[in-house]
Amino acid sequence: MSHGARVIHTGVSSGGPAVPPPVTVASSSAGSDAELMDGGYFRSCAGMLKVAQMISLLIGFISINNSSWTDYSAYSFFQIVSMCDLVMILFFYIMHIFRVYRKLTCVSWPLAEFLHYLVGTILLLIGSIVAAAKSYNITGLVAGATFGFLATILCVISMWSSYKVSCITQSTSKYR
């Protein structure tokens, strides 16, 4: 397959000045270190999973916030957990997009993300269970708890894929 015309330069001149070779820029989905943003992360499975988590957490938060509450402590706990989880997921999303993990190598980013998902998923599951138990069939509260459960499932998937990539891949490549 031809990718365009190639010029072969030799040391022999054919009468004119030597033409420098054309500069080509190789494009890749991961991008180079000189680029500011990683455009491939937007379309990756992990990137889309983080966006789905943030959207479901935001919808759950808005549903709970705009409903009439029956138990202040249960729903305020759900709101705090969902917003903290959303902020942390947004932090890791921005970190991956701008490749901050390449500049700050003193932190084990896969471990930090795994621990965030572990703690955040457990707290989100507790908040969703409590919100569902105290909803008393009020539509907004049931919708908020449902989106909380959806975000919990997405966080479990993300935690599992993070563990699979960071730990299982390292352990299998160690013995080869």
pLDDT of res. 122? 97
The domain tally of the chain equals 1
Over the stretch 59-112, which tens digit does the pLDDT of each residue have? 999 999 998 877 788 899 999 999 999 999 999 999 999 988 888 889 888 889
Residue 20 lies in a domain: no
Over the stretch 123-173, which tens digit does the pLDDT of each residue have? 999 999 999 999 888 999 999 999 999 999 999 999 888 777 656 655 555
Q: How many Å apart are CA 110 and CA 76, to the nearest integer?
A: 30
pLDDT band at 30 (very low <50, low <70, confident <90, very high): very low
Cα 77-80-81 angle, rounded to 5 deg:
85
Contacts for 171 with CB less than 8 Å, ≥ 6 apart = none
Residue 3 lies in a domain: no
Residue 76 lies in a domain: yes
Residue 27 lies in a domain: no
Residue 40 lies in a domain: no
Domain that holds residue 158: 46-174
Residue 125 lies in a domain: yes
Q: Is 20 helix (H, G, I), strand (E, B) or coil?
A: coil
For residue 30, give both structure tokens.
Answer: 């991961």
